[in-house]
Structure 1
């Protein structure tokens, strides 16, 4: 492998790289900046790439897009003429260079003789998943950095079932990428030649219509939606992203006609000028929506992130205040609504199953158990939920009802294999309408009833940003220290089990017995409390961060709040000590 300086000189001097790239690199005087841009190739992990938009091998730019797409194209060509003709579907969001990166990928595929279906404008990530299945394509690409800051973009790969590329296939693509050390010589086909040869096909409404039709079929009370939907006052913001048209159409077609769009956030804006960063998890993204919510006395505020795979929700409480739900609260409410309504309607199958991640609240397990519904817990990342759903279908041992992860990702139905903010918007609106019109209550009332029945589960997250090469080393040291110490309690709460998913071994701290973990290997540590709740730690697979997940249970809200505060303080103090040692 060439040295950092060799790679830097190649990119800043060779005429294969355009003038803009060479000029950008020529102006860098900070050797640390050069090192960070060139000390590695941007990592192809968890089915794709994500990075800061800039020139360099460790950045997002068209040359990185070319190299990765060339690796994907070679894997598609391994499937022969049939695979090449089935082709690859490509979607993109509103971020900087998303349309350009998407076109670059399409034309590299075309140059390799692989058919590319390119959407005619912004489309949500879940619609890309649907399109791969609908068109019987071999693979899919979506250019997005999801909810990350505006300086980022990304590239996610999907396979023929519509799910994110499975590990074995991802390894094959990565092997092809790594086998090509030379950055030069990957030339995209011209647009004219690609269209004339039939290797580039532009798609749009012919995919939108069948997708929206299937979304409508997920409604559990379509008659109520059509008759009373106008009574539910909704404010929706796409946060300048790809959800705008499809969320509005999906709600409107079911009967939710009282939808106010936040005009300042309606249109695409790659700088996301109205928010700190476009993540519906953070309260600031709802500031404008709240103003319109007050103005129209809204019942519900909804926000999707730039690629519309995540949904954030704010509810109007009985006292008129607007309060934001956590991802776990949304997941529990939708779990309860879907299972309770299907049971009442007689449509809940005996082998009904929900799927959630190990980072998501144990409260959902309790709700599912109450309805005699099976729970499958998988690793963090929605790709594992989709893989489990596929496994259930192929083996015929369960009927998928709902899947969610605490980071605002939700899915119902069998036509999408990723989290879907459009589906979640429809189901959440319908749940709010049902409880309002039929039971004379609201979603807060339902949530309080769930807490009273099963216990007050509270959750929180902390992230520690650790950038660059030194940051990676520090994350490794934190994980190794937590792994090696035998921690018996956190915040005064006894730990029942310690699960190390990297070594795939769990330990019952009471008995001292160990047991194998069946989930795939992953650098995750989970400390489960006696009586419910947990602390989980893992390095992010897509950002230079280490993440801490907290979930606690109390008999009352005050008790749960006090426990959560103590546990968080204890954990973060331990991390500070590790970093300073």
Structure 2
């Protein structure tokens, strides 16, 4: 149906409440109505994400209910016997309501639900699915998006986000629901009486925290010296406050100073319009506190506590926000070097990164004779590899990370985990402090040893139907009309992850890419620089990742500026031709 027909359908439906209809009749701008109704909110491999508002292309109890009915139909179709689903939610506006609507729909379909009593980090949900042997999991969050957004991520029985095949099957089930009357609901009190709804909390939290503590590598160091590390932490109004402070306290980190103005959960994020630890501005209050505390390390987590950003002091006394790549290479080196020193590095040890993550990782893993595996962007692909290793015994997972501030050690969680990240970052900072070094000193030492790598990201926001069309057009232009050089430096390799083709331009040969298909392009140049173009899976954006290698910091900065300018000129031409 057209967007106007869809709009009228909502206004006339007896299953849509009067407040929602009143909101819709108050929208006078036809472009706004079109954007709300030209499609159903897309269920991708990560689930749903969108602006909270009425409409089929928005996050509301009706779109969440429909998605959950589709998930229920998928589970009842694929499993027999008792089926359970675990549900968590973060601090965002409507997160609790959306989680309760999800529970209501699942229970109405005869599926048992384990619902957390209050907000929890996304990685705790990933752990809970496996711990309680659920067939699926749901976490209501929009991660680091602005306050207008919320989302709904679906996890499989292994605790990882559903990957392409399962997501398509769930989408087919959702698409088959044509009427609101086909979405079943159940009163939650009745669901509790019928033993279909279990409220969970501390009994799960304790086992999770114990497993996080067990990831400590240098136990004696932490036991004897944790009290000496001075830490500033900001939860940025999210779900990390209680679990991170708890695990650090139980490990003996007594000097943890929390940014009071950002401590309590608040879906309006009053001190951070974009609650993302990738953004230096979210640390302004932490840096103000740092003048009083003089910490060894500062870190912050996003609302659902799966991403972590780190701030360290350089030689001049200036605080610097590390990139996700910088934190990731520091942790990679710390983990593999510590395991080697302690004679605990397995022969088949493996690190996993995404195709847009720093190639400096490769230099480190080669140095320690550790295998490095690349996967598509999205932590679900790292989780998928962990599952594969478990089945085959071919590799021992050591660590995985992506440039967008997500990392994971251990295998009891199958998604990025900022609680684990915080624990390892504190241990690493403590180790270097005992050597008279800051984390920034350690990073510079790694650059001197492996090369001065610099990565950057530009996100082009292209909203609405026209924006989506422009993104697709740009990728097709680059796919078929890309020049053979960037600023007179030759392209030596190209990777088309949609067509699954890797081209070696120097040797005029090509091979198959053994990864799932994705509309992503990567180009590698003669001097080691590279760039990747991909549409965001969760936001109306096209992302351009760029990387260079310099002789020193200033050379890397200069190269990065020149390279980024040349690449963005190519991208803008592709968007507008």
The one-character-per-residue Cα deviations of 1:25-53 (angstroms, maximum 9, x if unpaired) are 01111111111111100000023000000
Q: Which secondary structure does the structure 2 equivalent of 1:184 belong to? A: helix
- Among 228, 236, 241, the alignment partner of 1:239 is 236
Aligned residues of 1:492 and 1:567 also touching (Cα < 8 A)? no
CA distance in 2, matches of 1:47, 1:410: 17
The 5 Å alignment of 1:77-116 reads 77-82=76-81, 85-116=82-113
Aligned pair 1:447/2:443, yes or no?
yes
Compute the TM-score of the two structures, normalised by the length of structure 2.
0.98
Of 317-326 and 85-94, more deviation after overlay is shown by 317-326
- Among 253, 256, 272, the alignment partner of 2:253 is 256
Residue 69 of structure 1: aligned partner = 68
Q: Which secondary structure does the structure 1 equivalent of 2:493 belong to? A: strand
Aligned residues of 2:339 and 2:345 also touching (Cα < 8 A)? yes
Residue 218 of structure 1: aligned partner = 215
Residue 524 of structure 2: aligned partner = 528
Residue 39 of structure 2: aligned partner = 40
Q: Which secondary structure does the structure 1 equivalent of 2:147 belong to? A: coil
CA distance in 2, matches of 1:342, 1:186: 52
Q: Which secondary structure does the structure 1 equivalent of 2:180 belong to? A: coil
Residue 289 of structure 1: aligned partner = 286
- Among 499, 505, 514, the alignment partner of 1:503 is 499
Of 515-524 and 304-313, more deviation after overlay is shown by 515-524
Aligned pair 1:265/2:262, yes or no?
yes
Unaligned runs of 5+ in 1: none
**1:320: Cα distance to partner?**
2.1
Aligned residues of 1:362 and 1:533 also touching (Cα < 8 A)? no
Aligned residues of 2:147 and 2:273 also touching (Cα < 8 A)? no
Aligned pair 1:175/2:172, yes or no?
yes
Aligned pair 1:21/2:23, yes or no?
no
Aligned pair 1:412/2:399, yes or no?
no
CA distance in 2, matches of 1:318, 1:216: 32
Residue 463 of structure 1: aligned partner = 459
**1:529: Cα distance to partner?**
2.3
Residue 433 of structure 2: aligned partner = 436
Aligned pair 1:154/2:151, yes or no?
yes
CA distance in 2, matches of 1:59, 1:523: 24
Of 44-53 and 7-16, more deviation after overlay is shown by 7-16
**1:156: Cα distance to partner?**
0.3
CA distance in 1, matches of 2:496, 2:479: 7
The one-character-per-residue Cα deviations of 1:201-258 (angstroms, maximum 9, x if unpaired) are 0000011000000000100112221221121111000000000000101111111110
Aligned pair 1:489/2:489, yes or no?
no
The one-character-per-residue Cα deviations of 1:360-397 (angstroms, maximum 9, x if unpaired) are 00000110110000001000000001101111111111
CA distance in 1, matches of 2:308, 2:447: 22
- Among 310, 313, 319, the alignment partner of 1:322 is 319
Residue 119 of structure 1: aligned partner = 116
Alignment size in residue pairs: 577
- Among 120, 135, 138, the alignment partner of 2:135 is 138
Aligned pair 1:549/2:537, yes or no?
no
Q: 1:170 to 1:579 in 2, by over 3 A?
A: closer
Aligned residues of 1:233 and 1:298 also touching (Cα < 8 A)? yes
CA distance in 2, matches of 1:472, 1:289: 37
Residue 363 of structure 1: aligned partner = 360
CA distance in 2, matches of 1:571, 1:97: 40
Q: Which secondary structure does the structure 1 equivalent of 2:524 belong to? A: strand
Compute the TM-score of the two structures, normalised by the length of structure 1.
0.98
CA distance in 2, matches of 1:104, 1:533: 48
Unaligned runs of 5+ in 2: none
**1:81: Cα distance to partner?**
4.2
**1:531: Cα distance to partner?**
4.6
**1:327: Cα distance to partner?**
0.3
The one-character-per-residue Cα deviations of 1:340-372 (angstroms, maximum 9, x if unpaired) are 000000000000000000000000011011000
**1:24: Cα distance to partner?**
0.2
Q: Which secondary structure does the structure 1 equivalent of 2:295 belong to? A: coil
CA distance in 2, matches of 1:548, 1:234: 34
CA distance in 2, matches of 1:487, 1:359: 21
Aligned residues of 2:489 and 2:527 also touching (Cα < 8 A)? no
Aligned pair 1:577/2:576, yes or no?
no
CA distance in 2, matches of 1:70, 1:242: 27
CA distance in 2, matches of 1:273, 1:163: 31
The 5 Å alignment of 1:200-219 reads 200-219=197-216
Of 549-558 and 151-160, more deviation after overlay is shown by 549-558
- Among 333, 339, 343, the alignment partner of 1:342 is 339
CA distance in 2, matches of 1:420, 1:558: 33
Q: Which secondary structure does the structure 1 equivalent of 2:447 belong to? A: helix
Q: Which secondary structure does the structure 2 equivalent of 1:78 belong to? A: helix
Q: Which secondary structure does the structure 2 equivalent of 1:252 belong to? A: helix
**1:540: Cα distance to partner?**
0.6
| Root mean square deviation of aligned Cα | 1.1
- Among 405, 420, 423, the alignment partner of 1:423 is 420
CA distance in 2, matches of 1:183, 1:374: 50
